[in-house]
Structure 1
């Protein structure tokens, strides 16, 4: 699939956001064969870097060079739902020509279209089977497959092209557990150049190296995510020791400077008393000489203090500040025996099995199931966005819904305005204070939602929902980790630890669900069944 010479190189790469804010300023990058996991905080430029490598964006300065054909899977994938599966896979013309030849049409253009791909259908079926899509007919339309299956179809199209370089941006978003594992196996078997942006821990355990994008620069770590985290832990422990040592040095230098001032002041007073019998011209010379010596001494102490402060600043910069959301939401509390949600014989669509569910007290429920099982539809029915074909739904407490699409905020309004729209009676300064706990500090609440990165938009949406009036006592979350980096997932978990209401979470991110302290695991597979913890 690839030669050892296949590579990606970027030299002095410079790129800025449309508003002029610099993102990369002289970034250098070299990626050779093997699997690279590209990680970094939301907004650090991971997706932008992939788009620059793929040729979808043009740098302001610098160069990007690639040796080999590129296959690129973007994070936000939109496909025409009316297109057939074989068209999405890029084999429609070859397949049509092959069928024409098989039906006795010897036209030369058919043989030209087929080329050497006489086994295209067999190869396609094998690729689809590898990704768990054996049931998908090539003549079906994209609208007949689930969102997760659409991602896998696009990946299958890339694999059929046999590219030398594969760029994947959050490929496990919207995939169920089985599909995630198949994709992880595909990544593990890749023997070309592969760069994957992901927060999926299982996927990042299949890479050969980690590229950490931070502050417009990349730092490389050998091994998978677990090796990276171990190395970072060692680095941070050393950095924190250096901060403590540098801080102690600053305090010592301050103390020595103060003591030097005190000693010189004492000497000056003593010298003044002793000058009573000395001629004025001699006393003046002695005083001048003392002032010069004192000035040199104080200057040396000040230089040492400045150097100590510089070392402290450098040490502090080496300590990572991956800030976490911290909130206290006492008004969201639900008593243990309080009825929260009741579903009675709810039928999502004609022919589906009825669903009955009782949620009581501050339960934390994980709702799992294969792609296309109807998990998102069930949440939409609970919120009233979609009417059930049959059955009844009754929410007994205020609820809020965080959808996959993150489309509940007005992109033309600021973060603060969006929050105020959901909590109109709250004082504006109080809103800004609360947004600071969601890491929107200083002028950030005034930023337009439409200019936010995926992770920032998620944080803004979560803040708007959790700060809404009345406070939500039931939160419905639909694949909440899709738009988050690794630090963001940790931050969300911390935020939800302080939430005291009931949770109903649709997710395939098992480590995240375990971190939430799920109290009940449910699987939607036709009907709704209780399962053992994953």
Structure 2
């Protein structure tokens, strides 16, 4: 039997009772599928349900074949050896025991038929660019990106029939991403990937668009999906315009009919008062006129209702991808203003800034480099969260730092209360009016931070920092597009278009970096050096 995933009448709700899926049907066959949708639509939840990590409230999920699942958050015990993380420590120990002359039956049972497991493990590590990571090293010796690839290597060694990947390129540098792309392209079975990485989504065979608890299928990769969606949206917007024109027409016709009926009523009343016809005839005419008026009114009201329904239906087909639009005049930095100075800076864990580095005015700096090169350490040192080993890092303007973990938010507080922490002098009305520009309108500003989706949580953290007092004139972002869907990335880009201060972004997401108007590219590879934009896409 070929491997597949079949979802039948699936229902699932969040702990607060909000329905995520209500009777959803779907089927995934052999090939690569990109699962897309706005943050909070249930993409990660669906993968967890298929992987068996969550139980549906109703319905059924059938998986033909073994499932391998790579979640968004990869947390490995730093004390684990690499072979333990790969799940081959027992087999490896048994093999070494047999090679040493111990012919215990238990060792042969442990090895089974997998006599080349160590060679396969090393080959898999090599294919993912981890040849330098020995099987006896501990997880604490590898970077965050390498630990993601180790989890993927463990899955590939199991040879599952169905592979589920949730934001697999998070924290991966350019080199590691290319290794992952190659593994995805070579995958022979069922693969379902959730990602905001456009380059990865352009490798899939089809797109499953999850919206309002239902999946719409599009053949081809993400670029083909965008073209098809644009055509659909143009047609939907035309239908809205047609429906709006029809609604106006039905309203006019109803008013015209009411005016005509009023005239007939006045004429009949006049005839009655002047008694120009017998009373019995006038009574019959009055009753006929009332019946006719009722029929006309009902007919026009039904047409008006139908026109409203058509407009509502047409409007539902138009996607409402709101954009963040903010006016932040106090973040502006004059062109010649000194913003940041680094002098002979030596960081923890080995990276350094030889000589000096200066940032002036509203420059936009992209900080790139391999996983583990020290980009986060550099940002945390500039932010004052870490002391340098030597040298100095001096910011000359108010700065804010948004870390990968988004731990600037207090989960027990609402969105509005979190912003108030950063702007204690602002009134509640002022906070709410500014939050509305970050798409937290009305009751959404009263949501508890720990109930927000990944994209909402990022938006709330960004709002808290950008609306802080004093206004930040240097904003530092560490891997800001991790866990964001495409719509949220566009929202972030539009917010940064309104920001007039200096910007430093550490990211492996090259399309995003290009979209925010980077003026200088810095590579951290042991030392900090300036590079050309062309050198950013360097080959592994």
Interval of TM-score (by shorter of Structure 1 and Structure 2)? over 0.9
Which residue of structure 2 aligns with residue 195 of structure 1? 192
Which residue of structure 2 aligns with residue 268 of structure 1? 265
Which residue of structure 1 aligns with residue 64 of structure 2? 67
Shift of 1:305: 0.8
- Equivalents in 1 of 2:434, 2:347: separation in Å? 38
Which residue of structure 1 aligns with residue 110 of structure 2? 113
Contact 1:38-1:210 within 8 A present in 2 as well: yes
Shift of 1:401: 0.4
Which residue of structure 2 aligns with residue 516 of structure 1? 516
Which residue of structure 2 aligns with residue 414 of structure 1? 414
Q: Does 1:368 align with 2:365?
A: no
Question: What secondary structure, in the 3-state scheme, does the structure 1 residue paired with 2:460 have?
Answer: helix
Deviation string 1:480-532 (CA, Å, 9 cap, x unpaired) is: 00020011001100110000001000001011001001001111011111111
Which residue of structure 1 aligns with residue 161 of structure 2? 164
- Equivalents in 2 of 1:183, 1:464: separation in Å? 34
Q: Does 1:130 align with 2:120?
A: no
Q: How does 1:134-283 map to 2 (within 5 A)?
A: 134-275=131-272, 276=274, 277-283=276-282
Shift of 1:353: 3.7
Deviation string 1:439-488 (CA, Å, 9 cap, x unpaired) is: 11121111111111111111110010011100100000000000200110
Shift of 1:267: 2.5
Deviation string 1:420-450 (CA, Å, 9 cap, x unpaired) is: 0110000011111111111111211111111
| Farther-moved stretch of structure 1 (436-445 vs 266-275) | 266-275
Shift of 1:274: 3.8
Which residue of structure 2 aligns with residue 327 of structure 1? 326
- Equivalents in 1 of 2:353, 2:528: separation in Å? 8
Q: Does 1:55 align with 2:52?
A: yes
Which residue of structure 2 aligns with residue 29 of structure 1? 26
Q: How does 1:267-416 map to 2 (within 5 A)?
A: 267-275=264-272, 276=274, 277-349=276-348, 351-355=350-354, 356-416=356-416
Which residue of structure 1 aligns with residue 531 of structure 2? 531
Shift of 1:83: 0.5
- Equivalents in 1 of 2:483, 2:475: separation in Å? 18
> Per the alignment, do residues 351 and 61 of structure 1 end up closer, same or farther by CA in structure 2, a change over 3 Å counting?
closer
Contact 2:339-2:360 within 8 A present in 1 as well: yes
Question: What secondary structure, in the 3-state scheme, does the structure 2 residue paired with 1:304 have?
Answer: helix
- Equivalents in 1 of 2:281, 2:104: separation in Å? 117
For normalisation by structure 2, the TM-score amounts to 0.97
- Equivalents in 2 of 1:531, 1:404: separation in Å? 24
- Equivalents in 2 of 1:133, 1:452: separation in Å? 35
Contact 2:364-2:520 within 8 A present in 1 as well: yes
- Equivalents in 2 of 1:228, 1:350: separation in Å? 43
Which residue of structure 2 aligns with residue 92 of structure 1? 89
For normalisation by structure 1, the TM-score amounts to 0.98
- Equivalents in 1 of 2:156, 2:135: separation in Å? 16
Q: Which runs of 5+ in 1 are unaligned?
A: none
- Equivalents in 2 of 1:351, 1:529: separation in Å? 15
Deviation string 1:86-116 (CA, Å, 9 cap, x unpaired) is: 0000111111111112222222222221222
Contact 1:350-1:389 within 8 A present in 2 as well: no
Shift of 1:361: 0.3
Contact 1:368-1:508 within 8 A present in 2 as well: yes
Contact 2:31-2:188 within 8 A present in 1 as well: yes
Deviation string 1:52-80 (CA, Å, 9 cap, x unpaired) is: 00000011111111010000000011110
- Equivalents in 2 of 1:71, 1:196: separation in Å? 12
Counterpart selection for 2:40 from 36, 40, 43:
43
- Equivalents in 2 of 1:188, 1:131: separation in Å? 13
Aligned CA-pair RMSD: 1.1
- Give the aligned length: 531
Shift of 1:325: 1.4
Q: Does 1:466 align with 2:466?
A: yes
Question: What secondary structure, in the 3-state scheme, does the structure 2 residue paired with 1:443 have?
Answer: helix
> Per the alignment, do residues 69 and 383 of structure 1 end up closer, same or farther by CA in structure 2, a change over 3 Å counting?
same
